[in-house]
Structure 1
Amino acid sequence: MNVRIEIVRAWLHRHESMQLELPAGASVADALAASGWNDGECAGVAVFGARATPGQLLADGDRVEVLRGLQADPKDARRRRAASGKA
């Protein structure tokens, strides 16, 4: 029996998604390898928004999300927005 999953990654104003069919017992690492998206841009992975490890096993219907690193520190960004609002 195989598992069908969706794997997604997103950038500002665009995203990519693909459907994969993997053998039962496939892991997050297997999904990344099958997608070809294991390119070093990956800061982490999640399954339906919950942080996942590469060894986590996948179930039929799972959505694997390839996470990117933050482009700005959220605390610094908030401070800049607050400072510009005071001016």
Structure 2
Amino acid sequence: MSAVETINVEVAYALPDRQVILPVNVETGTTIGGAIVQSGIMMQFPELDIEHSDVGIFGKAAAMTTVLSEGDRVEIYRPLIADPKEVRRKRAAEGKKTRKGGSTDKG
């Protein structure tokens, strides 16, 4: 019998007021999805819907089927609360209003 090779990875999830990073020792060839399940993070965050969550490794989006390497940090992302395009439009509109109201003609 040969020994099973393992790697060390981390599984991370953050809420606005709490962040958890769990070290996990997994078999070589384990996927992101497998590491998340093995980490037990869903017990700490029962509201976490892994089937519909975006995930990544060190801030780069990845699929649940991505095979992990030694030292990888799996990140589970929360859904966006606001539409980024809408936020940019709102900021741009507020900026234009401020410039128009704040400028003075010295003509």
Short-chain TM bin: 0.7 to 0.9
More strand by share: 1
- Looking at CA atoms only, which structure, 1 or 2, has the larger radius of gyration? 2
For the residue of structure 1 that corresponds to 2:49, the secondary structure is: coil
> What is the CA-CA distance between 1:13 and the residue it aligns to?
4.0
* Larger RCO: 1 or 2 (CA < 8 Å, sep 6+): 1
Instruction: Report the Cα offset of residue 67 of structure 1.
Output: 0.9
Greater helix percent: which structure? 2
The Cα of 1:77 is off from its aligned counterpart by: 1.2
The count of aligned residue pairs is: 87
Gaps of 5+ in 1: none
What corresponds to 2:73 in structure 1?
A: 63
The worse-fitting range, judged by mean Cα deviation, of 32-41 and 60-69 is 32-41
TM-aligned CA deviation for residue 12 of structure 1 = 2.1
TM-score normalised by length of structure 1: 0.83
Spell out, residue by residue over 1:33-60, the C-alpha distance to the aligned partner (whole angstroms, 9 max, x if none).
Answer: 1123453165211012221111111111
Q: How far apart in 2 are the matches of 1:81 and 1:27?
A: 40
Residue number in structure 2 paired with 1:35: 39
With the length of structure 2 as denominator, give the TM-score of the two structures: 0.70
Give the distance between the partners of 2:57 and 2:73, measured in 1 at CA.
6
Instruction: Give the share of equivalent positions with the same residue, in percent.
Output: 34
